[in-house]
């Protein structure tokens, strides 16, 4: 691989050499008998990564944001939606849902924390929701939601309510038990825990969600995001037959196939434990530096990324270039009004799973050295 | 490049080695100072390829079909739209526009021909259209529309009417003079004349189209396709500043940048003349074989692809595998009711521009040999 800055932002993450090689697969028809099983197996492996036996994956050309848009298939005008927001992405997901007619009830927590069980119970008692959305890891804060507990609470109060998880920054780096936890939707993108360059939208839907889509009373007010277009395509390719709605991103799907094979070559439990261990160690490094993570307690801290409050006197506009000068790309903040007050580091995928690459050590060393250079004393 | 079947379908086409190398660019942040100018220059070069000085390109993650979807920005419920259809893609574009409230008037021609000037004049005289759509090259038939003449006719009759060109199968292989011909929209994808793997939607909008978008009376009923989200992103990157709505497909944009540089390294006129010469020669080969192209006359035949009626006794299900056995991938038909009656061959990009690759010779030789093997006698 050509020398480059280590990409240690919370996505895109570093890519395995074999994944990058797959990106340069020579021109191949989207209906070529060689490609059809690659797409079909990718659909199956996406289902495996979220530990489902029955869910329907959708793999389409687009960014993670396109997955939000696909909720147009489930919403009808006036539907009540409860949005549990733990940062920028929860807020913007709600903005998307409103375009498709949702009446939003927000449960917001202060930056770094998450809505309480009591607050959720109160909201569920007051309104019958069509859908509850929760951001598994909000990339703006690094706050991890307890989606297992949220789903259990929602389904206990209202079994018909759809549980929708924004897993853009969690699929592949956080444990997800789609069937066991009774999730209805998990939305993701290719460029984070799945370890593939950006450009694929990935959505997984429960049989119940598909039924809600099929039973809707009004037409889906979207063309490109319409599951009526995509569902036959996914079923065809999984059945090892080609079908056409829009040309799939052949090279990205070869790359996804390669990465999913690597991910599934060892038990998922091993993968999630390793991510948790590296994240805990990274947070300890932060504390040792006398700094605080944005996530306010260990149980609510993501395993694939960490957001850290900057110390007094160090600007994000100094810290990011200082690390870049050491060959490490990190990210600034994006929470409105607080964007300059913190920075974010990704620890997902091969950077976590392959110790020999020394990515995590390099980012820790560069962080310590950069802070020191910028005059910070613990 | 690894050995593979030559991909001679009407897109995806064969990719230049440098484009494939760019596809495997190591992980790079979408806000990295190295990437920002790559995106910015790509936007500028897309404008150059359609020979505009003033148009606004949108480069987004998605397939060519997403470009159709973006017409949601220009349509409001009840808007009259005239659709000039020369095949499958014209019909389906109309289906998309209907989702966004368009009242469609179709001008259909029999397979292989295009709506007449008189028919267009009659339609324009009868109704005030918000938009007229024309498929520059319908990939299902290989029929080339005279978009210069259509635009002139529409603008003469009704200057306020938007002229929307589906250029998915023409940008990069057919001459387009966006400003001179007074076009308002050109829609394309990455995988045809632009010579880049599939996964990017490319839309170019005139200042007038942007004004129509800004002056609309009702909110845009889409989130992912909403120009209010994308316009600031395109303006920022072209101004060499990063901005965020959805993560761009970094590697695909590196590949697009590489391909656009190659395309613009010689005069566009040379490129279009070469495509025209190769296409004319290919049609002559077809005639020499005693076969007929679907496009009924030379002036209405595309320069980047050709659709050919099968002779009696030869099945498409025999011909496609026969060529595949010789290392050449071609495509069957897709016109409803006629799909098994014809086949399609792409002749675009490096396969046309670089004679030394011998792609065109190989497809011609393989076609002749396959037909002979299948018992066809001229």
pLDDT digit string, tens, across residues A246-292: 999 999 999 999 999 999 999 999 999 999 999 999 999 999 999 99
Where residue A378 falls among pLDDT bands split at 50, 70, 90? confident
Q: Are B168 and B64 in contact (CB under 8 A)?
A: yes
Estimate the crossing angle of helix B227-238 against helix B207-214, to 10 degrees.
Answer: 140
Identify whether A154 is preceded by a cis peptide bond (ω within 30 of 0): no
pLDDT score at A2: 56
Q: Is A125 on the interface with B (CB under 8 A)?
A: no
Q: Are A319 and A371 in contact (CB under 8 A)?
A: yes
The residue of chain A nearest to residue B14, with distances taken between CA atoms, is A27
Q: For testing the chain B interface, which of A1, A3, A36, A61 should be mutated: the one with the most B CBs within 10 Å?
A: A61
Both tokens of B375, joined, read 């018992």
Q: Is B9 on the interface with A (CB under 8 A)?
A: yes
pLDDT score at A251: 98
* β-bridge mates for residue A134, sequence order: A84, A165
Q: Where are the domains of chain A?
A: 6-12+267-373, 17-263
Please give the average per-residue pLDDT across B11-23, as a whole number.
98
Q: Phi and psi for B338 in degrees, rounded to 5?
A: -125, 5
The answer for A 330-349 residues in CB contact with B (under 8 A) is 331, 334
pLDDT tens profile A122-178: 999 999 999 999 999 999 999 999 999 999 999 999 999 999 999 999 999 999 999
Across chain B, mean pLDDT equals 97
Does B53 have pLDDT greater than 60? yes
**Architecture of the CATH domain A6-12+267-373:** Alpha-Beta Complex (3.90)
Residue A138 CB neighbours (<10 A): 33
CA atoms of A343 and A40, how far apart (whole Å): 39
Q: Is B218 on the interface with A (CB under 8 A)?
A: no
Taking the CA of residue B3 and the nearest CA in chain A, the distance in Å comes to 8
Residues contacting residue B289 through CB under 8 Å, at least 6 positions apart:
B367, B368, B371, B378
CA atoms of B35 and B259, how far apart (whole Å): 16
Q: For testing the chain A interface, which of B9, B189, B224, B352 should be mutated: the one with the most A CBs within 10 Å?
A: B224
CATH of domain B17-263: 3.40.640.10
pLDDT score at B378: 87
Residue A344 among known ligand-binding residues: yes
pLDDT score at A23: 98
Taking the CA of residue B59 and the nearest CA in chain A, the distance in Å comes to 11
Among B21, B28, B62, whose Cβ lies nearest the Cβ of A224? B62
Both tokens of A276, joined, read 């948790």
Alpha carbon A7 to its chain centroid, in Å, reads 17
CA atoms of A192 and A198, how far apart (whole Å): 8
The answer for A 178-197 residues in CB contact with B (under 8 A) is 189, 191, 197
To the nearest 10°, report the CA torsion of A249, A250, A251, A255: 90
Both tokens of A165, joined, read 């998880």
CA atoms of A245 and A248, how far apart (whole Å): 9
CA atoms of A107 and B81, how far apart (whole Å): 43
Contact B69 A223 (CB under 8 A): yes
Contact B9 A28 (CB under 8 A): no
Among B31, B223, B249, whose Cβ lies nearest the Cβ of A197? B249
Both tokens of A121, joined, read 């119970």
Among B2, B251, B329, whose Cβ lies nearest the Cβ of A32? B329
Where residue A72 falls among pLDDT bands split at 50, 70, 90? very high
Among A61, A197, A225, whose Cβ lies nearest the Cβ of B250? A197
Does A1 have pLDDT greater than 60? no
Does B182 have pLDDT greater than 80? yes
Q: Is the ipTM of this complex over 0.90?
A: yes
Please give the average per-residue pLDDT across A232-236, as a whole number.
98
Among B27, B96, B244, whose Cβ lies nearest the Cβ of A14? B27
Q: For testing the chain A interface, which of B13, B18, B27, B94 should be mutated: the one with the most A CBs within 10 Å?
A: B27
Residues contacting residue A71 through CB under 8 Å, at least 6 positions apart:
A96, A97, A100, A131, A164, A185
CA atoms of B305 and B326, how far apart (whole Å): 20
pLDDT tens profile B71-123: 999 999 999 999 999 999 999 999 999 999 999 999 999 999 999 999 999 99
pLDDT score at A102: 98
Angle at B283 between CA B277 and CA B284, to 5 degrees: 90
Q: Is A158 on the interface with B (CB under 8 A)?
A: no
Does B1 have pLDDT greater than 80? no
Taking the CA of residue A153 and the nearest CA in chain B, the distance in Å comes to 30
* β-bridge mates for residue B163, sequence order: B132
With contacts defined as CB-CB under 8 Å, which chain B residues touch A6?
Answer: 27
Among B222, B226, B249, whose Cβ lies nearest the Cβ of A199? B249
Contact B26 A9 (CB under 8 A): no
The answer for A 254-313 residues in CB contact with B (under 8 A) is none
Contact A252 B13 (CB under 8 A): no
The answer for B 304-333 residues in CB contact with A (under 8 A) is 329, 331
Residues contacting residue B47 through CB under 8 Å, at least 6 positions apart:
B53, B55, B57, B204
Taking the CA of residue A123 and the nearest CA in chain B, the distance in Å comes to 26
Both tokens of A163, joined, read 């549980």
Q: Are A350 and A308 in contact (CB under 8 A)?
A: no
Angle at A6 between CA A168 and CA B43, to 5 degrees: 70
pLDDT score at B2: 56
Alpha carbon B294 to its chain centroid, in Å, reads 18
pLDDT tens profile A6-44: 999 999 999 999 999 999 999 999 999 999 999 999 999
Please give the average per-residue pLDDT across B261-283, as a whole number.
98
Percent of chain B with pLDDT over 90: 98
Q: Where are the alpha helices (DSSP H) in chain B?
A: 17-23, 35-49, 64-69, 88-99, 117-126, 147-157, 207-214, 227-238, 250-263, 268-288, 316-325, 350-353, 359-373
pLDDT tens profile B119-157: 999 999 999 999 999 999 999 999 999 999 999 999 999
To the nearest 10°, report the CA torsion of A246, B68, B199, A28: 40
The string over B225-252, giving b where at least 16 C-beta atoms fall within 10 Å of a residue's C-beta and e elsewhere, is bbbebbbebbebbbeeebeebbbbbbbb
Taking the CA of residue A206 and the nearest CA in chain B, the distance in Å comes to 23
Residues contacting residue B148 through CB under 8 Å, at least 6 positions apart:
B177, B181
Contact B63 A249 (CB under 8 A): yes
CA atoms of A157 and B234, how far apart (whole Å): 45
DSSP result, A91-136 = HHHHHHHHHTT-EEEEEE--TT----HHHHHHHHHH---SEEEEES
Contact B65 A26 (CB under 8 A): no
Q: Is A30 on the interface with B (CB under 8 A)?
A: yes
Both tokens of B348, joined, read 């675009």
Q: Is B125 on the interface with A (CB under 8 A)?
A: no
Q: Are A50 and A176 in contact (CB under 8 A)?
A: yes
Residues contacting residue A36 through CB under 8 Å, at least 6 positions apart:
A237, A240, A241, A242
Among A15, A95, A250, whose Cβ lies nearest the Cβ of B27? A15
pLDDT tens profile A328-376: 999 999 999 999 999 999 999 999 999 999 999 999 999 999 999 999 9
Q: Are B80 and B207 in contact (CB under 8 A)?
A: no
3-state secondary structure of B131: strand
Both tokens of A114, joined, read 């998450």
């Amino acid at each position: 691989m050509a020398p480059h800055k280590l990409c240690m932002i919370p996505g895109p993450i570093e890519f395995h050499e074999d994944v990058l090689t797959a990106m340069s697969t020579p021109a191949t028809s989207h209906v070529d008998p060689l490609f059809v099983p690659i797409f079909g197996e990718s659909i199956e492996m996406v289902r495996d990564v979220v530990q489902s036996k029955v869910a329907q994956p959708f793999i389409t050309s687009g960014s993670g944001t396109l997955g939000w848009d696909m909720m147009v298939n489930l919403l009808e005008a006036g539907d009540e939606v409860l949005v549990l927001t733990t940062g920028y992405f929860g807020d913007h997901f709600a903005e998307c849902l409103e375009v498709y007619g949702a009446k939003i009830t927000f449960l917001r927590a202060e930056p770094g924390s998450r809505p309480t069980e009591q607050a959720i119970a109160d909201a569920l008692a007051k309104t019958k929701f069509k859908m509850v959305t929760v951001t598994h890891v909000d990339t703006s804060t690094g706050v991890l939601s307890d989606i297992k507990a949220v789903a259990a609470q929602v389904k206990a109060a209202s079994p018909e309510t759809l549980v929708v998880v924004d897993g853009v920054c969690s699929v592949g780096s956080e444990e997800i038990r789609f069937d066991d936890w009774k999730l209805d939707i998990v939305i993701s993108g290719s460029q984070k825990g799945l370890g593939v360059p950006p450009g694929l939208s990935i959505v997984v839907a429960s049989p119940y969600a598909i039924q809600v889509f099929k039973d809707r009373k009004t037409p889906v007010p979207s063309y490109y995001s319409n599951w009526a277009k995509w569902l036959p395509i996914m079923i065809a390719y999984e059945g090892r037959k080609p079908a056409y709605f829009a040309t799939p991103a052949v090279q990205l799907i070869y790359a996804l196939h390669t990465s999913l094979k690597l991910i599934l070559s060892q038990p998922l439990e091993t993968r999630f434990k390793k991510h948790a261990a590296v994240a805990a160690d990274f947070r300890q490094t932060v504390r040792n530096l006398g700094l605080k993570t944005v996530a306010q307690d260990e149980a609510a801290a993501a395993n694939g990324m960490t957001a850290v409050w900057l110390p007094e006197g160090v600007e994000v506009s100094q810290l990011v270039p200082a690390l870049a000068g050491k060959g490490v790309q990190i990210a600034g903040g994006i929470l409105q009004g607080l964007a300059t007050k913190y920075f974010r580091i990704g620890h997902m995928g091969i950077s976590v799973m392959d110790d020999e690459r020394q990515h995590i050590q390099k980012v820790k060393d560069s962080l310590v050295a950069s802070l020191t250079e910028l005059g910070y004393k613990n």
